[in-house]
A = this chain, B = another copy of it.
Amino acid sequence: MGPTLTVTFTTTDGGKTAVKIEPGTSFLDAARSADIDVTATCGARGKCRGCRIKVLKGAVPPPTIMDEVQLGPDEVHEGFRLACQTRAIADTEIMLAPPMTEGGHQILGAGDGVGDHAGIDMNSGVEKKFVTAVIPMDEHVQSSDIEEILNAIGADDAGRILPELLQKLPAILRAEKGKVTVTTFNGTILDIEAGDTTAHKYGMAFDIGTTSIVGSLVDLETGEQLAAVGDVNPQSVYGGDLMSRLAFAQFDLGALRKLRARAVQSVSDQIKEACETANISASHIYKVVVVGNTAMHHIFLGIDPTYVGLAPYSPTVRHAIELPARDLLLKVIPNAQVCLLPIVAGFVGADAMGAILATRIFESEETRALVDIGTNGEVIMGNKNKLMACSAPAGPALEGAQIKHGMRGAIGAIEKVRIEDDVICETIGGAPAIGICGSGLIDAAAALLKANVILPSGRFRPKDDKSLPKALADRLSGSGGKSEFTLVRADLSGNGEDVTLTQDDIRQLQLAKGAIYSGVLMLQRIMEVPNDDLAELQLAGGFGNYINIESAVTIHLLPALGLDKITYVGNAALMGAQIALLSEAERARASVLANEIEHVSLAARLDFQDIFIEAMCFPDDETVKKLAGSVA
């Protein structure tokens, strides 16, 4: 074939260099072939941000998990990528080492540390003391090695003495004439090392999601994030979405063990990676805070999740859990404390608890909402006086499942749709369309609604409806429940087939968005908060990054608030885990909040049917116009 694509590199000082490459070449290799020096500190493994680029012109390739981990969702959204991870698919103009917007958003994504967070008491509970302990030399003194350690650190009482610590203590105590570093967590000794290791005090935060597991290595003294890591959740081979994963494990402890082992292995691998990236020893990681949805939380602990997946979706435990790393076989010191945040109720899990900590909704004077859109959506609403939460089973339609031409967000997926005279679709990577992903589905529905092709009930207008412009009427086929709207015709698609939206696809979207929206509506009703009184709606979670907020409002996936009131807050769950990692006061707060937050069980509410039917419908013409106006 030979080089067929042109990549133009722009440096921050404005210089430009063009290079011809073959499709599929990574931008890092492209730069190197042009003798352009690109920093790749981690060895092109996607473990640092050194080789970051920003796509200025041309198709933006879909982000890899490492892009998301290293750069954070906002930057990824703006076209930032890692040159080592991203392959050219079209003529592209890119900027080398673009400046990152530091601290540009109040809530930080997976790629950033907690930094200095206002109002958070920074005390991780982990303390290291370098002391000189007396080595028992006098037979008259009635003492022991551990008592001399306790004396040296001024411990009033022994607390729990962990036998592992004692095993090598005699040698450690005498290795440097009694000079030792003693590490405690809330008073319990975790480790004793010879010499002075006080400079090394680290922790990790993890969010174990159904789709991906992401982590963050943090210096517990400074709060600085030293490494960000992530990977797809390797449990996915046993079921891509939450409910199929649960179905796999139900009534089968062997299956549970397989799922658990994969999650634990992934976390252990990420600990290893993070330590290599930051060039620290895993033996200096003393605290690990883990969040995750209720199912992932239970599976990670090896708890039979059978009943988490069956009504009334009751968890086996809601309490905050602390256990030594040894019990999980994590690759850190045996006594490192692994802390899981508490669960509020049902599917409002430890990840939601993390998001609550991160967004500080419990400190808010005004009433706010926090929405995590996913297979299972969670809604938290309230202010410093009162918080309520519910979960809404949206199903996997928003991930492209159960949609005729649905697909995940990959190259060739329609991600944006608008209607001017005719339908205009944009695909990921600019490639010919082969299907539609969740954000495209929302966009398409919004566009068809605004163009009056879809009625508020969700039904397609008949093909022969005179009010339809010819271009759109031509795209309709079938009738009634068999109606189908062609988004991209076969001759323009990537696989020689029409990419269509069926009446059934619209119904699936209605069920999904109706579930989420009814959660928001229900809490608004119970708490008596009309849209005008809702100061802000924060979107958390991975999916929130990709949807067009205007479209989401147009189809009533989200309530009709002004666009300025709806913000995307990135991986707030991991952020909350980092906060709990750095602050025992905040970790304790999570337990208090978990008890205080009132959980509303949607299905058990008498008025749920009414609200759900309302939430499933699209707004009427007038409202759509009004919305289009208000959110413009």
- By a beta-carbon cutoff of 8 Å, the part of chain A in contact with chain B is 136-147, 158, 161-164, 166-171, 174, 253, 301-307, 311-319, 321, 323, 327, 343-346, 598-599, 601, 603-604
Contact = CB atoms under 8 A, between A and B. Distances in A.
Count chain B CB atoms within 10 A of each CB in A141, A311, A315 and give the residue with the most: A315
A138 B604 contact: yes
A163 B302 contact: yes
Contacts of A305: 170
Consensus secondary structure, chain A interface: loop
> How many chain copies?
2
A170 B139 contact: no
B301 A166 contact: yes
Contact of A168 (B142, B304, B313): B304
A311 B305 CA distance: 56
A306 B166 CA distance: 13
Count chain B CB atoms within 10 A of each CB in A166, A168, A301, A321 and give the residue with the most: A166
Nearest to A603: B139
Contacts of A316: 144-146, 166, 169-170
Contacts of A306: 170-171
Contact of A163 (B138, B327, B344): B327
B599 A166 contact: no
B146 A317 contact: yes
A167 B303 contact: yes
Contact of A601 (B139, B161, B170, B327): B139
A170 B136 contact: no
Contact of A169 (B136, B166, B170, B304): B304
A141 B345 CA distance: 9
Nearest to A327: B163
A346 to B, nearest CB: 7
Contact of A301 (B137, B158, B163, B343): B163
A145 B604 contact: no
Given A144-B316, A145-B307, A168-B253, 8 more contacts: A143-B314, A144-B314, A144-B319, A146-B319, A166-B301, A168-B304, A170-B305, A174-B307
A139 B302 CA distance: 24
A544 to B, nearest CB: 26
Contacts of A301: 163, 166-167
Contacts of A603: 139
B170 A302 contact: no
A113 to B, nearest CB: 29
15 contacts: A138-B604, A143-B345, A144-B316, A146-B316, A146-B317, A147-B317, A163-B327, A164-B327, A167-B302, A167-B303, A167-B304, A168-B253, A169-B316, A170-B303, A170-B316
Nearest to A169: B316
Contacts of A317: 144-147, 161, 166
Nearest to A604: B139
A174 B140 CA distance: 59
B142 A345 contact: yes
A343 B168 contact: no
Count chain B CB atoms within 10 A of each CB in A304, A313, A316, A346 and give the residue with the most: A316
A305 B136 CA distance: 14
A260 to B, nearest CB: 9
A339 to B, nearest CB: 12
Nearest to A600: B140
B315 A139 contact: no
Contacts of A162: 323
Contact of A303 (B169, B302, B303, B599): B169
A351 to B, nearest CB: 17
Count chain B CB atoms within 10 A of each CB in A140, A141, A144 and give the residue with the most: A144
A323 B167 CA distance: 14
Contacts of A146: 316-317, 319
Contacts of A137: 312
Given A170-B304, A306-B171, A307-B170, A161 B604 contact: no
A312 B136 contact: yes
Contact of A139 (B163, B303, B312): B312
